[in-house]
Amino acid sequence: MAKLIYKPKMSLGEQAYVPAIASGLKLTMGRFFNNVFAAHKKDASGNKLLRRGDIDTVDYPEEKRVYPPRFRGVHRLTHRMDGSPRCVACLCCSTACPAQCIRIEAAEYPEGDPRHGYERYPKVFVIDELRCIFCGFCVEACPCDAIRMDSGLHMPPSTQRAHFLFNKEMLMAIPGADGTFETANPRHEPGDATHPGVDREHSH
């Protein structure tokens, strides 16, 4: 059975909506001017004087918020102790990347290098930071702690597409938020006495 719903009675003012619009504008403009004036009020130490109800804003880019430790920023490629990339060009990160924005070309270490025949290195490593969705899957997929997003940086704005293509040299020139290029995770190189795996001497 249908239920009848009667239209509520509205006064002329309510039907015109003008008082409601004026009331909404008063609230909005009140907040707006509060925040404009609050942004310029500072105490003796130069800190902003914010009041309850003000919006806490920062004058970016001169002023920046401190990002939390797990903030996913622009990628970096971590270094070994000798300054070469930790990356072994296994392609796990580019395979896991849902945005398909990592391109790697693997190469062999030269004859005579203890890593020759064990590990490869990335001759080309490019990330398209504009296409990246900052999911962190590449970091999770890496077996070598070779790629990280702990730089604490986000992409600088640019109008040029090419500025978002970060190559190996650029990725290796970005330090972590702590200012270092290595990681705390130990790494045992092939040929080292501490190398725990199978090598040429221990393969039988």
Residue type, 162: A
The reply to whether 126 sits near ligand SF4 by the rule CB under 6 A is: no
The least distance separating ligand SF4 from the CB of residue 165, rounded to whole angstroms, comes to 12
Residues sharing a CB contact under 8 Å with residue 181, sequence separation 6 or more, in sequence order: 76, 78, 79, 83, 172, 175
Which tokens is 161 given? 């597409």
Q: Which of 91, 155, 165, 177 binds ligand SF4 (CB under 6 A)?
A: 91
Helix (H) or strand (E) holding 170: helix 168-172
User: Residue 25: which region, alpha, beta or left (left: phi > 0; alpha: psi -120 to 50)?
Assistant: alpha
Closest CA to 144 of 100, 195, 198, 185: 185
Using the contact rule CB under 6 A, the part of the chain among 38-46, 51-59, 88-96, 175-183 near ligand SF4 is 88-96
Closest CA to 150 of 133, 125, 171: 171
The reply to whether 138 sits near ligand SF4 by the rule CB under 6 A is: yes
The least distance separating ligand SF4 from the CB of residue 141, rounded to whole angstroms, comes to 5
Please give the size of the binding site for ligand SF4, defined by CB under 6 A: 27
The reply to whether 92 sits near ligand SF4 by the rule CB under 6 A is: yes
The reply to whether 170 sits near ligand SF4 by the rule CB under 6 A is: no
Residue positions counted in the chain: 204
- Closest CB to ligand SF4 among residues 93, 172: 93
The reply to whether 171 sits near ligand SF4 by the rule CB under 6 A is: no
Query: Which residues lie near ligand SF4 (CB under 6 A)?
Result: 87-93, 96-99, 101-102, 104, 127, 132-138, 141-142, 144, 146-147
